[in-house]
Every structure is written in C-alpha cells, then in structure tokens.
C-alpha cells in the first residue's frame, strides 16, 4: 500500500491488523520492506518486461498471499506500467510508481517546469503528511493547475497547506479518465503526459531531498523533482466509505498508468 496508513492499523472483517510504523506515527509505502525493496522474478515480453512477486500471508503485517505482476512495455513514445494481482484473503492493495521527474535533464529546481492537473479538488494533509479526509476546491488557490502554470509561481506561496507539507505533497482527485497530468520543461522542451486508470495521484515536489545524488552524481536539493504517484486516495481504508484499496479474496486487482514523453516543437 503506497502512501500512509494512519497509525499503521486497519480492520478487515472484524480483525485488526498492524503494519510497521515507519513515518512519524503512520505506516508509509508498505512498511519497512515494501515492494520497492523486493527482488522480482521476470520474463521478457515483446517490447517489455513482466515482473512477478508473491507476497506471502503476513508479510509486513498484511493478510493474504498476493500473487502480483508489474508489466512494463514500450509503445512508441509511451511507457506503460500495468499492475495486477490476486489474493487468497481479503487484503489491501494500492500500487504506485514513485519516479522522480526533472525534465531539465539534471538536478535543478523544478520552479521552471509547467504543470497541468485536470482535477478540481485536492486533499489536505496534517503535519505528518497524512491525508486528513478533507477535500478542498482548487479554484483560486495555489493548487489550481487545471490550466498549464509555472510551478515556481505557486509553490512558494503562503498557503497553509504548502507550509505544512513544505511544498506539494497532496492527493489530487481527477476530473477525467485519461491524460490527467502534464509536466513540461521549457529548458529542454520535454513534455511528460500521464494517463491512468487510477482516480487520484499524490503530487509530491520532492520536499525532503537533501544531499542525495542523482544518476549523474549531482547533489539534489528539496524541490529538484516532481513525483506523480497515481493511486487510490491516501489512507483509503480509513477515509472512504467504500475503500477502493480493499481487495477481496479471489478478486483481480488491475490498474494501469502510461507515461508519454515528447518534445514540443
């Protein structure tokens, strides 16, 4: 389960489960060793790779043995990532890709990037980064990217939510079913379009980068990248009446996100 689960606890069918507390008082990104730390089996497919992992019952505190696939393939200028899985017990699942994008091509501020997000509402977070359950209208706020806007013109504003999160680290609820997000660097001319079957994305402006090095060995600073974490809404098991994150035994989980890279003429 990507993002945070409040206090690392949840209840399914009357049974309370406990998952590791690894981010303040909450559980983040699947626990101590989420799927990002696992070695997957793989097989080659046409223009892609099919990754496979079996998460055994009780791993990181989650119920059920989950048979999980992540399939990556290229189609022209688009990278497709399709997730699927089946569990033998009712469980939770919410898989994302946490890539850090900087379309300038090197470690540098994303202030110059422009962003478009087709969403009329965003979720508020508390000082621990947990989604509070409150959705706000983006209109006339620093969170309104329904038209393409320069990130640097808004990210440094005095909005209370930006101050709490040290930048953007909030879920956006999409208004459309495709091409929901567009990120662009006028420096390189590279444009990234994100299209997903998921209903939301956590938009994270890498506020906690502090001294790590990028793939070229350059030092990275806060807000040197943007993450577009497509997913079900954060802490869905506590915040939604019918939590999308709940996967019933034998039910097939399947979602897809497509990243398309182009150069604007």
**3-state SS string for the chain:** CCCEEHHHEEEECCEEEECCCCECCEEECCCCCCHHHCCCEEEEECCEEEEEEEECCCHHHCCCCEEEEEEEEEECCEEEEEEEEEECCCEECCCCCCCCECCCCCCCCHHHCEEEECEEEEEEECCCCCEEEEEEECCCCCCCCCCCEEHHHCCCCCCHHHHHHCCCEEEEEECCCCCCEEEECCCCCEEEEEEECCCEEEEECCCCCCCCECCCCCECCCCCCEEEEEECCCCHHHHCCCCCCEECCCCEEEEEEEEEEEECC
Residue 136 has pLDDT above 90, yes or no: yes
Instruction: Please identify which residue in the block is written with the tokens 């956006």.
Output: 172
Residue 160 has pLDDT above 90, yes or no: yes
Residue 265 has pLDDT above 90, yes or no: no
What percent of the chain clears pLDDT 70, i.e. is strictly above it?
100
Pairing label, strands 190-196, 149-150: unpaired
Give the pLDDT score at 214.
Answer: 86
Average pLDDT of the residues in 169-191: 98
Selecting among 52, 80, 98, 221, the annotated active-site residue is 98
Average pLDDT score over the chain: 97
Active site residue 160: no
Q: What is the pLDDT of residues 40-93, one digit of tens each?
A: 999 999 999 999 999 999 999 999 999 999 999 999 999 999 999 999 999 999
Active site residue 98: yes
Residue 161 has pLDDT above 90, yes or no: yes
Give the pLDDT score at 155.
Answer: 98
Residue 252 has pLDDT above 90, yes or no: yes
The model's confidence at residue 16, banded by pLDDT at 50, 70 and 90, is very high
Give the pLDDT score at 181.
Answer: 98
The model's confidence at residue 241, banded by pLDDT at 50, 70 and 90, is very high
Selecting among 6, 59, 191, 229, the annotated active-site residue is 229
Residue 215 has pLDDT above 90, yes or no: no
Question: Would you identify the CATH topology of the domain 4-263?
Answer: Beta-galactosidase; Chain A, domain 5 (2.70.98)
């Amino acid at each position: 389960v990507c993002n945070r689960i409040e206090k690392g606890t949840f209840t399914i069918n009357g049974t309370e489960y406990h998952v590791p507390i690894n981010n303040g008082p909450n559980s983040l990104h699947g626990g101590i060793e989420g799927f990002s730390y696992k070695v997957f089996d793989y097989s080659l497919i046409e223009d892609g790779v099919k990754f496979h992992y079996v998460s055994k019952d009780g791993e990181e505190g989650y119920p059920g043995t989950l048979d999980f696939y992540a399939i990556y393939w290229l189609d022209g200028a688009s990278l497709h990532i399709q997730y699927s899985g089946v569990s033998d017990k009712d469980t939770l699942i919410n898989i994302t890709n946490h890539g850090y994008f900087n379309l300038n091509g090197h470690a540098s501020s994303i202030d110059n990037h422009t962003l478009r997000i087709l969403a009329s509402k965003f979720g508020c977070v508390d000082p621990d980064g947990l989604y509070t359950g409150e959705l706000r209208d983006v209109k006339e706020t620093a969170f309104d990217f329904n038209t393409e806007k320069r990130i640097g013109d808004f990210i440094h504003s005095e909005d209370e939510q930006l101050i709490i999160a040290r930048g953007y680290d909030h879920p956006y609820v999409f208004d459309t079913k495709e091409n929901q997000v567009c990120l662009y660097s006028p420096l390189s001319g590279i444009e990234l379009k994100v299209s997903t079957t998921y209903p939301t994305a956590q938009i994270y402006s890498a506020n906690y980068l502090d001294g790590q090095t990028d793939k070229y060995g350059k030092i990275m600073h806060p807000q040197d990248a943007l993450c577009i974490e497509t997913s079900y809404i954060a802490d869905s098991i506590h915040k939604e009446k019918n939590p999308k994150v709940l996967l019933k035994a034998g039910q097939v989980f399947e979602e897809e996100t497509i990243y398309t890279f182009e150069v604007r003429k």
